[in-house]
Amino acid sequence: MAATSKTAQIPYSTRLDIAEDDRHKLVTMLNETLAATSDLYSQTKQAHWNVKGKDFYQLHLLYDELAEKLEEPLDLVAERIVLLGGYAYGTVRMAAEASPIAPFPGTDQEGDQDTFNDPSFLTTLADRWAQYADHIREMDKKADDIGDPGTADLYDQIIHIAERGTWFIEGHLQRYHGGLKEEGQDPK
């Protein structure tokens, strides 16, 4: 779900030389990113807390490390919102309403608790991290188009975290083939 119209409010003035209309756009974008980052953090911690199975220890540590990598962007995005004169909508409830990241299946109170033990769980989490990376890329382009190098630079920093997190999860989905040609592929 996209950020609500309330995220476009600019209650504070600033001496920064950024037009108010542009600040409205940037604050709206950043609040959507704050929601996405908070949502992805929560989904990753949910995985950390509930993972079971033969790869428990490795995945438990991986999910915790990935969630920790989102803590700094959460803070930086919220501070950028306020720096631009906006209000950071950062509660969990606000994030759930405004996040562009798809909800995680089976994570409601009535959901299937075996979701975290299913091999498709890794695919779903990798998909959520990839959605986040796509969101960050889109917001980076918008910040560039608006002409705000400070916000664009922030998105440049976050994309590295999003792509690396996706890569780390995808690494658990791929099988090593020992250099053997897979069916239908040309050897290199």
pLDDT above 90: residue 172: no
CATH code where residue 157 lies: 1.20.1260.10
pLDDT above 70: residue 162: yes
pLDDT at 7: 45
pLDDT above 80: residue 175: no
- Within-domain flag for 160: yes
pLDDT above 70: residue 60: yes
Total domain count, the chain: 1
- Within-domain flag for 110: no
- Within-domain flag for 14: no
pLDDT above 50: residue 186: no
Interval 118-133: pLDDT, tens: 667 889 999 999 999 9
Confidence tier at 54 by pLDDT (50, 70, 90)? confident
pLDDT above 60: residue 1: no
Domain that holds residue 51: 19-104+116-170
pLDDT above 60: residue 4: no
- Within-domain flag for 9: no
- Amino acid 50 reads N
Q: For 25-39, 52-66, 69-83, which range has the lowest pLDDT when averaged over its residues?
A: 52-66
- Within-domain flag for 153: yes
pLDDT at 117: 62
The mean pLDDT value of the chain amounts to: 86
Interval 88-105: pLDDT, tens: 999 999 999 999 999 987
pLDDT above 90: residue 106: no
Confidence tier at 11 by pLDDT (50, 70, 90)? confident
- Within-domain flag for 61: yes
- Within-domain flag for 138: yes
pLDDT at 180: 40
- Within-domain flag for 120: yes
**pTM score:** 0.85
